[in-house]
Chains A and B, each alone.
Chain A
Amino acid sequence: MKKVLTIILLTIVMLNGQTPSAETILKKIDENMISKNQIMTSSMIIHGRRVSRTIRAKSWSIGDTKNFTEYLSPAREKGTKMLKLDDKLWIYTPSTDRIIKISGHMLRQSVMGSDLSYEDMMESSDLTNSYDAKVIGSEEIDGKQCWIINLVGKTDDLAYHQRKIWVDMKLYVPLREELFAKSGKLLKRMELKNIINIDGRWYPTKMIFKDVLKNGEGTEFVIDEIKFDQNIPKYKFSKAGLRR
């Protein structure tokens, strides 16, 4: 009996030894996903009840504090620009030639009819400092072994009190993320696919966002082109840049 118990305990210790800590996994994810800056051309495919719309955009960003996005197509959205500086967001529409600050209730509105709200775009990606992370198991997604990391908010002022992230054990890239309400109800799900190697980083080029409380197929976000650590002029992240 003692022998059996010893074997079980040893197995547990060995298995634990194979699983890196959640903090280590999150750090490795950051190495893949976070860069000094990036320039990206992307397509957002919004699936409506009858038809789907594709919105193309080019964005310039520094970390998760500064972002400038210019919509390229369709014609109705072309020229619309969005500027995010820390926790502030402005939007410029060429048809009205006005810059509007998005705040309060407006932040909850969906971005161009997608499953993403402005406040989702405003969220900080600093998970390590905001959440207590713990590896709670493993699961296979599309034939890839993943760790499941459960994140519980350290403070009361986070938008999502709990998150779950499925991380590819080999590439250290998140393949799925679920966002939960304080009550534990699942609110949003994000699937990350088509992982490719760009400049030595593993990066997902297709993301599917889904507000699980809402009917519909969700919103696809496809990266057409992405460049890391480029020279981005400072004026890009100024309000004056919105009218240029």
Chain B
Amino acid sequence: MLSLKLAYKNLIGAGLRTWLNVIVLSFSFVIIIWNKGLLNGWNEQAKRDMIDWQIGGGQYWQKDYDPYDMFTINESHSVIPDGISDDIQNGLLTPILINTATIYPEGRMQNVLLKGILPEQKILKLPTDKLQKNSDEISILIGSRMAESNKLQVGDYFTIRWRDANGTFDAADAKVVDIFHTNVPIVDQGKIWLSLEQLQKMLQAPNEATMLITENNSVEKEEISGWVFRGHDYLLKEMDNLIKMKSVGGSIFYGILLALALLAIFDTQILSIFRRQKEIGTEIALGMTRWQVVRLFTVEGAMYSVFAAILAAIYGIPLLTWQAKVGLAMPEGTDDYGLPIAKSIFPSYSIGLVIGTVLTIFIATVIVSYLPAKKISKMNPTDAIKGKIQ
């Protein structure tokens, strides 16, 4: 208790020197929490969007389907098992058929993936209800990125050329019935969405699908013969890895920031011990053990982090709360890199994040305060009282 009181008085007595250290350290607190909160916010939003737009509650893949192998995509579909037709009707599963094709908007040629989906499905957020059923005309949905890159608008027609299940070329004109915007580029770039029935007819693959998407809240994932289930752990792994990578990159940045703040505390400690040798000698002469003096100086140093935490809370809480409310606008075109990023990212701060950051900085401050103070244990008290440099 005495150490705390003494440390507090010494710090307050040091005036501007203390406050400069505290301000710099408080920046570290706020920036680290803000940065990690931003990554958390992005991670949560991206996963939520991927679940809503792309993966649902997990997917059953036809056993040969490999999204990274374009050579086998056209052969990776099979008949939808009879046993799951009730689940499809009840909206617990939605089948998707995938095939490669070439489109010719305004005479330009582009390779795309055709994706057939049930117009009445509710599992994915895609506005599939806009797809016309039982129509001879091919109605299609495209994303805003696809529309922009191919200069397409609602009501435009263009030619699609594809090969049916037997390998025969076929071609027809399709009409854009809606353009949707999504934060998940993978369902947009290079993808053409059309009615499942229409695509099955085009490919001459009746009742066939490449994957079955499950409803997000359905708990039971039964085994379906000839189909492999891919859960969130598998389908969101890439996103997790990306966030981990970003987090490591961010750690370097706030490691440097923290190092600068801690360096200032380290310097202050060295200076204090050098300038307060007579005080150290007197304290030992009055009966304090060397280690009690070391503890006093360590507590003094560690108290910087306590002051910094209080100061960070004073200006950081309103600032970070405001940021979480308004979000951070992403520059135009950020989502063109294929990453699921919303127009604004809303940081998400957890108690674990705040406590973790405070503890990390506190422990780091204790260490950098202790290292110079350790020198006191080797001091000769008589020389210290005389003010001899040791």
Contacts and interface: CB of A to CB of B under 8 A. Distances in A.
Interface of A: 103-106, 108, 153, 156-161, 179, 181-183, 185, 187, 211, 213-216
Contacts of B72: 104
19 contacts: A103-B71, A104-B70, A105-B70, A156-B168, A156-B204, A157-B167, A158-B167, A161-B168, A161-B170, A179-B169, A181-B171, A182-B170, A183-B172, A185-B172, A187-B169, A213-B107, A213-B159, A214-B108, A215-B107
A159 B169 CA distance: 6
B161 A187 contact: yes
B191 to A, nearest CB: 15
Contacts, number: 66
B86 to A, nearest CB: 33
Contact of B168 (A106, A182, A211, A214): A182
B109 to A, nearest CB: 5
A182 to B, nearest CB: 4
A103 B168 CA distance: 16
Nearest to A182: B170
A153 B102 contact: no
Given A181-B172, A183-B172, 18 more contacts: A104-B72, A104-B74, A105-B70, A105-B73, A156-B204, A158-B167, A159-B168, A161-B168, A179-B169, A181-B161, A181-B169, A181-B170, A182-B170, A185-B159, A213-B107, A213-B109, A214-B109, A215-B107
B171 A183 contact: yes
Interface in B47-88: 70-74
Contacts of A158: 167-168
Contact of A159 (B111, B159, B167, B204): B167
A102 to B, nearest CB: 10
A185 B107 contact: no
Contacts of B73: 105
B171 A185 contact: yes
Nearest to B167: A157
Interface residues of B, number: 25
Given A213-B159, A213-B161, A187 B70 contact: no
A188 to B, nearest CB: 9
A158 B170 CA distance: 11
Q: Closest 8 interchain pairs by CB?
A: A104-B71, A215-B107, A181-B171, A182-B170, A105-B70, A213-B104, A185-B171, A156-B166
From DSSP, what is the main secondary structure of chain A's interface residues? Answer: loop
A183 B102 CA distance: 16
B71 A108 contact: no
Interface in B305-358: none
Given A104-B70, A105-B70, A211 B166 contact: no
A157 B104 contact: no
B333 to A, nearest CB: 25
A69 to B, nearest CB: 23
A124 B70 CA distance: 24
Nearest to B111: A108
Contacts of B108: 214-215
Contacts of A213: 104, 107, 109, 159, 161, 171
B152 to A, nearest CB: 16
Contacts of B70: 104-105
Given A103-B71, A213-B159, A182 B107 contact: no
Contacts of A182: 164, 168-170
Nearest to B71: A104
Contacts of A160: 168-169
B107 A105 contact: no
Nearest to B104: A213
Contacts of B268: none
A160 B162 CA distance: 11
Contacts of B104: 213-214
Given A157-B167, A181-B170, A106 B107 contact: no
Most buried by A among B71, B163, B170: B170
A153 B172 contact: no
Contacts of B200: none
Contacts of A181: 161, 169-172
A9 to B, nearest CB: 40
Nearest to B204: A156
Contacts of B106: 215
Contacts of B204: 156
B202 to A, nearest CB: 9
Nearest to B170: A182
A204 B108 CA distance: 30
B100 interface: yes
Contacts of B71: 103-106
Contacts of B161: 181, 187, 213
B27 to A, nearest CB: 51
B138 to A, nearest CB: 11
Interface in B187-227: 204
A157 B163 CA distance: 10
Given A103-B71, A104-B70, A157 B100 contact: no
Interface in B106-140: 106-109, 111
Nearest to B158: A213
Nearest to A104: B71
A213 B173 CA distance: 11
Nearest to B169: A181
B107 A214 contact: yes
B164 A211 contact: no
A239 to B, nearest CB: 19
Nearest to A216: B107
Nearest to B70: A105
A165 B170 CA distance: 19
A173 B328 CA distance: 69
